[in-house]
Amino acid sequence: MYKIAVIPGDGTGPEVINEALKVMKAVSQKCNFNYETIMYDFGGTRYLRTGETLPASAIKELKKADAILLGAIGHPDVKPGILEKGILLKLRFDLHQYINLRPVKLYPGVWTPLKDKGPEDIDFIVVRENNEGLYVGEGKFIKKGTKDEVALQVSRNSRKGIDRCLKFAFDLTQERNKRKKLTLCGKTNVLTYAFDLWYRAFTEMAKKYPKVTTDYAHVDAICMWMVKNPEWFDVIVTDNMFGDIITDLAAMIQGGMGIAAGGNLNPEGVSMFEPIGGSAPKYTGKNVINPLAAISAGMMLLDHLGEKEAAKKIEKSIIEVTSTKLKSLAAGKMGYGTTEVGDLVVQFL
Ligand code: IPM
Ligand code: MN
């Protein structure tokens, strides 16, 4: 009996999470496993009502779960940064989810803006460091509000933080049945402290993985090649900020936010899975948002729990839906409503 904590969150979060739970329930019956869900109302609505982002007990309670499923955090009436720092980033940091795993896979039938590229070309994984870098929130203002004002924002990169991230990426590349190529994405020509350390750690660790081919590219070049030659990539490893940026680009070439999901992993603790798009306030309550990203997050969650067969069934079913049913993956253009897409996935299981 798994314990799954569910945080539907804001905007369209609850709608897409409903569909993910619908699919998970159906697949659990087919694959004979059980779970209970524990619902949490963290998000902008709760914050506006109570003034609290996460209650003090939240982290302790969530640590007891086997996994967390998150919808979306973000509210148009809350100043940027409050919910992100107070909920999403706090969960990632306090639960030591030091990996942000982003599979980028173009499914058959899904439109990509890349001309002449298909599912055989777009199939890679980004491993983003998820606890350090610019996201630590270190910095200060000097002479704030004056014409001489300066803002400092520190990127923290510890050897231990880098090594545990690289180890995950090397292991994944070795296990993955592809080209076994790991690309470090950095900016060694400008960020001569941070990426000097990343590069040294990377080349050192590479010696322990003779089966893995390694490669290095600057982040700007990665952006170029992701559009020009996405087939070059197998696994990409990078820091928190670059990982954030390149995974939005990556999401677009796999069909957009309607399908893109990710995992915040603590390989030694509790991990959290989420569709990577935001709360999409303008689509809220209209039954038009695409639930496939949330359903994919549910799939990753089950895979992570060891329910490999269930995860495979969900992926097959999603492919069936994208290749034979949906007109588009964009909100309001699918040819079906949110709940119908969930039903279709269940039907094809
Ligand atoms: C993401 C998001 C978050 C991030 C925001 C909402 C803080 O963009 O999960 O990629 O920057 O990590
Ligand atoms: Mn992002």
Domain boundary (230, 254, 278) is at: 254
Q: What is the pLDDT of residue 211?
A: 96
Residue 267 in tokens: 């390989």
Does the reported pTM lie above 0.75? yes
Closest residue to atom 5 of ligand 1, CA basis = 84
Structure tokens belonging to residue 14: 């609850």
Question: What are residue 50's phi and psi, to 5 degrees?
Answer: -115, -15
Q: Residue 7 — φ and ψ, nearest 5°?
A: -120, 90
Same domain for 150 and 181, yes or no, is yes
> According to the model, what pLDDT value does residue 96 have?
98
At residue 175, does pLDDT exceed 90? Answer: yes
- Give the catalytic positions in this structure: 135, 187, 220, 244, 248
Q: What is the mean pLDDT of the chain?
A: 97
**Band of the pLDDT at 143, cuts 50, 70, 90?**
very high
Q: Say how far apart CA 293 and CA 167 lie, in whole Å.
A: 27
Answer whether residue 262 is part of any domain: no
Task: Look at residue 307 in the predicted model and tell me its pLDDT.
Answer: 98
Residues 247 and 214 occupy one common structural domain: yes
Mean pLDDT of 171-186: 95
Is there a contact between 105 and 271 (Cβ–Cβ < 8 Å)? Answer: no
Alpha carbon 341 to chain centroid, angstroms: 21
pLDDT of 178 above 90:
no
For the chain, what is the domain count?
2
* 222 and 277 in a common domain: no
Closest residue by CA, ligand 1 atom 8? 244
Q: Is residue 263 a part of any domain in this protein?
A: no
Query: Which ligand lies nearest the alpha carbon of 240?
Result: 1
How remote is the CA of residue 40 from the centroid of ligand 2, in Å? 23
**Both ends of the chain: CA-CA distance in Å?**
22
Do the domain assignments include residue 107?
Answer: no
Q: Over 90: is that where the pLDDT of 177 sits?
A: no
Alpha helix ranges (H) inside 4-108: 13-31, 44-50, 58-62, 82-83, 89-94
Ligand 1 centroid – CA 276 distance (Å): 8
Domain around 20 = 1-101+269-349
Ligand nearest to the CA of 88: 1
Q: Mark which of 222, 254, 286 sits at the end of a domain.
A: 254
Residues recorded for the chain: 349
Which pLDDT tens digit goes with each residue over 85-124?
999 999 999 999 999 999 999 999 999 999 999 999 999 9
CB-based contact 233:223 (threshold 8 Å): no
Same domain, 236 and 276: no
